[in-house]
Amino acid sequence: MTEAKPAKEKIPAGENACDYCSGKCCRYFALPIDTPDSRRDLDFIRWYLLHDQATVFVEDDDWYLLVHTECKHLLPDNRCAIYEIRPQICREYKTDICEYDDDWTYDRYFETPEQVQEYIDAVFPNGSGKSIRSPKPELLPVLA
C-alpha cells in the first residue's frame, strides 16, 4: 500500500512540494479562448470536445481550452528532464500556487460535446425562437 501524500502545509520546512507531488502541472495545458456569445461559438467548443483529451472550463468568467496531455520531458519520478533549460512558463510557475492539493473547482466544466449541447439549448432558444423550458403554468385559483 502506498502512503498518501501529505497536505501541502504538512510538508517539512525546506523540502520541495514536488518531491511529494504527482506532477499534475506537467500533465495538461490550458489556453484562454474567446468567451462564446452565440450558438455558433458554443458549437466550436462542442467541436473541441469531439477530440480526445480536451475539456473546457470557465473560471472567473474567463473560458479555457484544457488539453490533458503529458509533457514529453516528465520523468517517471515526476521531475523535469530538461529542468535547466525548461521554458519560461515553467520557470515562473511556483509551488505556492500549484494544484498540489487538487482542491480546485471551476465555475463551469465541460467534458463532453453533449454537455455543451445541453448548455447551448439552455442558454439560447431553439430555432423557433421558443424556449426549451416548459411554459409557465397558470396560477392556481385561490380558494375562499
Phi, psi of 93, rounded to the nearest 5 degrees: -75, 130
- C-alpha span between 103 and 78 (Å, rounded): 20
Spatial contact of 19 and 8, defined as CB atoms under 8 Å apart: no
Minimum mean pLDDT range among 37-41, 44-48, 63-67, 121-125: 121-125
- C-alpha span between 20 and 81 (Å, rounded): 17
- pTM for this model (two decimals): 0.74
What's the DSSP call for residue 30? E
Task: Indicate the pLDDT class of residue 132, thresholds 50, 70 and 90.
Answer: low
Q: Which three cell numbers stand for residue 64?
A: 479555457
- C-alpha span between 62 and 17 (Å, rounded): 28
pLDDT digits (tens, 9 = 90+) for 99-122: 767 667 889 999 999 999 999 988
